[in-house]
Amino acid sequence: MFNKILIANRGEIACRIIRACRELGVKTVSIHSQADKDCMHVKLADQSICVGPASAAESYLNIPSIIAAAEISGADAIHPGYGFLAENTYFAEVCQACGLKFIGPSKESIEKMGDKIAAIALMKAAKVPVVPGSDGSVDAEDPKIFQIAQKIGYPVIVKATAGGGGKGMRIVPSEESLKNAIILAQTEAKASFGNPAVYMEKYVEEPHHIEFQILGDKFGNVCYLPERDCSIQRRHQKLVEESPSPYISEKLRKVMGKAARQAAKAVKYVTVGTVEFLVDKKGHFYFMEMNTRIQVEHPVTEMITGIDLVKEQIKLAAGEKLIIHSDKIKILGHAIECRINAEDPDRDFIPSPGKIGQLFLPGGPGIRVDTHVYSGYTIPPYYDSLIAKIIALGSDRQEAIARMSRALKETTIENIKNTAPLHQKIMANERFAKGSVATDFLPKYIFNEADKK
């Protein structure tokens, strides 16, 4: 096991990792920007080092500063969390070259799954079902795009090969808007990821976003855990996640879980990762991408399996053997996670940073809150707007929804516009209560309130 881990991240995930390290008896070093000196992760870690000014580029993405912090503090491993450098192959390589264990998969695995076009080709070869698509990047100036889209069949979706966070995506209903959509997606992809490459695939209508947590060890063992349903999204970004999915049968869980394991094995995956699929109206499933890191929504899986995924991730990175078997997992109930973002839902979700007044977070039976904020804390404007995750566990879905509604009602975050009231609306929605909602649920039934027509 490691002696000291440096956490190259901030906020709730940095706190989550510190807690796992403490339980494992591993010392922790956090890093922070000048703007984050009062953040909870700085207070929770055994030691914290300032790595630069407020801008992420100069602090949480500043590889030389982070490596220097690890060396000065005597850390022997680096946990990247999610976002920032978590899926950066160069960072993984630099860690290795400096004798620091990167807590994640090998740089080769990250590389193979990081480029969506390459990942899709690899999955096809591994016999994992993929969405019919362009088999490579497309360019707006190439006249062949019309033929390719015709062959795939409209509607198609244009996606960034380096994509993430739902950026660089455009749905194209017919050929009139194809060229323009590609130009817009390329521009957005260049601005967001520095890589303008985009590709096309069939737009799966009313899809369900279903993903599988996988764990792998250096001996080639891979297991999968019960699926998460992340179909409640706003602009292709997840807002609510739950496990197990009300849409997936026991039989489909097994088939998809095995496909996820196959996907992970194809890249010799070590530590924890997530294989994402889309499932259509007929129950056909398609590989979408693999995230080679711990995910925001990992707590729902932890709640229903009793497995501490971050501790497992650290143990697997330290070279331990995987002892979890997919077939032996018992589902302990139903869990739902609501992402509380400091955003104003009435003003198109613009970020709402600033000083929190009184803060009261919920508790009681079945409620877990992962957060880094506290009364009087000032949310800086520079980073992600996620301020808390409320997770509810119930003996069944109905109880999980009731607990979440109750927890959301207890929540008070003074002075900061946030998504808690929106989550209350979702929890109270009859369609949601029935289960099986697709990714069009939020725009169709919460924002436009089609139910009330």
Query: How many angstroms separate the Cα of 453 from the Cα of each of 71, 444, 445, 449?
Result: 62, 12, 10, 8
List 209, 372, 389, 403, residue binding ligand ADP (CB under 6 A): 209
Residue spans of alpha helices (H) in 84-228: 89-97, 107-114, 116-125, 144-152, 178-193
Q: Which listed range, 83-91, 200-208, 368-376, 443-451, lies at the site for ligand ADP (CB under 6 A)?
A: 200-208
Q: Which is nearer to ligand ADP, 204 or 407 (CB)?
A: 204
Q: Report d(CA 12, CA 72) in Å as an integer.
A: 25
Give the long-range contacts of residues 360-365, CB within 8 A, separation 24 or more. 360/410, 360/411, 360/412, 361/388, 361/390, 361/410, 361/411, 362/390, 362/406, 362/407, 362/408, 362/410, 362/411, 363/410, 364/403, 364/406, 364/407, 364/410, 365/403
Q: Which is nearer to ligand ADP, 166 or 380 (CB)?
A: 166
Using CB under 6 A as the binding rule, whether residue 51 contacts ligand ADP is answered as: no
Q: How many residues bind ligand ADP (CB under 6 A)?
A: 20
Q: Report d(CA 283, CA 326) in Å as an integer.
A: 22
Using CB under 6 A as the binding rule, whether residue 210 contacts ligand ADP is answered as: no
Using CB under 6 A as the binding rule, whether residue 292 contacts ligand ADP is answered as: no
List 53, 164, 246, 353, residue binding ligand ADP (CB under 6 A): 164
List all residues 6 or more positions away from 255 whose beta carbon is below 8 Å from its beta carbon: 285
Q: Which is nearer to ligand ADP, 94 or 336 (CB)?
A: 336
Q: Which listed range, 89-97, 143-151, 163-171, 261-269, lies at the site for ligand ADP (CB under 6 A)?
A: 163-171
Using CB under 6 A as the binding rule, whether residue 157 contacts ligand ADP is answered as: yes
195: left (phi over 0), alpha (psi -120 to 50) or beta: beta
Using CB under 6 A as the binding rule, whether residue 439 contacts ligand ADP is answered as: yes
Q: Which listed range, 61-69, 76-84, 162-170, 297-305, lies at the site for ligand ADP (CB under 6 A)?
A: 162-170
Using CB under 6 A as the binding rule, whether residue 236 contacts ligand ADP is answered as: yes
Residue 191: burial class (beta carbons within 10 Å; 0-12, 13-18, 19+): exposed
Using CB under 6 A as the binding rule, whether residue 278 contacts ligand ADP is answered as: yes
> Looking at the annotation, which residues are catalytic?
293
List 188, 229, 242, 289, residue binding ligand ADP (CB under 6 A): 289
Q: Which is nearer to ligand ADP, 114 or 394 (CB)?
A: 114
Q: Which is nearer to ligand ADP, 107 or 202 (CB)?
A: 202
Using CB under 6 A as the binding rule, whether residue 204 contacts ligand ADP is answered as: yes
Using CB under 6 A as the binding rule, whether residue 87 contacts ligand ADP is answered as: no
Q: Which is nearer to ligand ADP, 237 or 415 (CB)?
A: 237
Q: Report d(CA 96, CA 63) in Å as an integer.
A: 13
Taking the CB of residue 221, how many other CB atoms lie within 10 A of it?
A: 17
Using DSSP bridges, classify how beta strands 170-172 and 27-33 pair: parallel, antiparallel or unpaired. Answer: unpaired
Using CB under 6 A as the binding rule, whether residue 288 contacts ligand ADP is answered as: yes
Using CB under 6 A as the binding rule, whether residue 163 contacts ligand ADP is answered as: yes
Q: Which helix (H) or strand (E) segment is 240 a member of?
A: strand 237-243
Residues in the site for ligand ADP, rule: CB under 6 A? 131, 157, 163-167, 201-204, 207, 209, 233, 236, 276, 278, 288-289, 439
